[in-house]
Chain A
Amino acid sequence: MQRKELWIAMALALAGALFWLAFFWEPAETGVGARAPILAQAPTAPAGGDFVLRSPSGPLSLSGYRGKVVLIYFGYTYCPDVCPTSLASIAQALSALTAAELAQVGGLFISLDPERDTMEALHAYAPFFHPAIIGMTGSPEQIAQVARQYGVRYMKRNSGGGAPYTIDHSTSIYVVARDGKLAAILPGDSTPQSLVGTLRELLAGAG
């Protein structure tokens, strides 16, 4: 008799569990599925490639650097912390090169803030870190196009309280080889030593 009651209890529990599974259980896959479009947009290797933007000495193209290794950083001059940190690291790497090496290397600082960053401001800003770094800007559409090519994401953010807006942005350092192809994407907090290592590796390569 006792055994029979036990069976009934177990059957009821099983039925309850099945009922719950059938009507209330939402498998985790539903959540992943809902996010799938975002995952599909996850950046694969960006193509990089040529572009023409304004520089203090007129229009400047990346292809004009053919034969040189180029470091590119995207940022904005109102950026108080992250951009200067990366630019200082790039500057130290450039300073550590021999004169012969430096002659084969270029640095570009591309503004993600074409509205506020005037050519004059960029010209004061970029070479301040190292004379080989050139500030560049363009129309918002041109900047967006170059950012797309290199997989750079950026978004204006109003901080409120009358403070100037800031820009959330990718902080990678993009390294272009002598043939104009995007060769490496390095973290924005790369040490000068590691940048020098990458530069020398690419300088030693076919040119």
Chain B
Amino acid sequence: MRSIVLISAAALLVGTALPLAAAESAITVSDPYVRLLPPGATTSAAYLLMKNSGAADRKLVKADSPVAQSIEVHEHRTDNGVMKMREVGSILIKAHAQTELKPGGYHLMLIGVKRPLAEGDSVAITLTFDDGSKQPIAALVRKVQTDMPAGMVMDHGAMKH
């Protein structure tokens, strides 16, 4: 009897806690950035990492920014050596998992960038998810570099001397 009461209590607790958790966004966005492109370029890309701490799958369905005429959610796929960039309806962030938007993969394509973006500028972007929730983020404009261990190339050169 006691165990039944305990289970009911636990169920009640979980039942009331869940809607509370859902009210707060389960999606945490980290390291958002916009690729620095040459002056005059009117398209760029934004990248970020989305973590879903919630129990439900979530989808990023839309992004907007005052600096771009529009933002499209894109993916890349390689078809027989040809890189194809396509608009996707949404990007899935599975429950208790994360999805990364990064160079060569998923990215937000900024179309019709209205003003020159300089390194260090902050770009306001609003993300919209499939549950209707919105999340404003500030993405820093930065020069995107491939990670290169500092010592490696130098060592390689040194060997030749």
The answer, yes or no, to whether A137 is at the interface (CB within 8 Å) is: no
Interface assignment of B91: CB less than 8 Å from any CB of chain A: no
> Given A80-B110, A164-B43: A124 and B146 within 8 A (CB)?
no
Q: Let me know if B85 and A191 touch, CB within 8 A.
A: no
**Contact residue among B39, B112, B144 (Cβ-Cβ distance under 8 Å from A84):** B144
- B16-54: which residues lie under 8 A (CB-CB) from chain A? 35, 37-45
A169 near B82 with CB under 8 A, answer yes
A159 to B74 CA separation, bound complex (whole angstroms)? 11
* Known contacts A192-B146, A197-B156, A121 near B40 by CB under 8 Å: yes
Contact of B144 with A166 in the complex, beta carbons under 8 Å: no
A168 at interface, CB cutoff 8 A: yes
A186 CB to closest chain B CB, in angstroms?
12
Interface members, chain A 48-76 (any B CB < 8 Å) = none
A161 to B112, CA, bound (A): 13
Which residues of the other chain, A, contact B152 by a CB distance below 8 angstroms?
193
Please, which residues of chain A bring their CB within 8 A of the CB of B141?
none
Looking at chain A's contact residues, the main secondary structure is: mixed
Contact B41 A81 (CB under 8 A): no
Assuming the A-B contacts A153-B82, A159-B87, A200-B160, are A80 and B104 also in contact, with contact meaning beta carbons closer than 8 angstroms in the complex? Answer: no
A165 to B112, CA, bound (A): 12
Asked if A89 is an interface residue, CB under 8 A from chain B, the answer is yes
Contact B35 A124 (CB under 8 A): no
Are A81 and B146 in touch, CB under 8 angstroms?
no
Interface residues of chain B, those whose CB is within 8 Å of chain A, are: 35, 37-45, 70, 72, 74, 76, 78-79, 81-85, 87, 103-104, 107, 109-112, 143-146, 148-149, 152-154, 156-157, 160
Between-chain CB contacts (< 8 Å), 19 pairs:
A81-B35, A81-B76, A81-B85, A82-B76, A84-B103, A85-B104, A92-B148, A96-B148, A153-B82, A155-B82, A166-B85, A168-B79, A168-B82, A168-B83, A168-B84, A169-B83, A188-B83, A192-B146, A200-B156
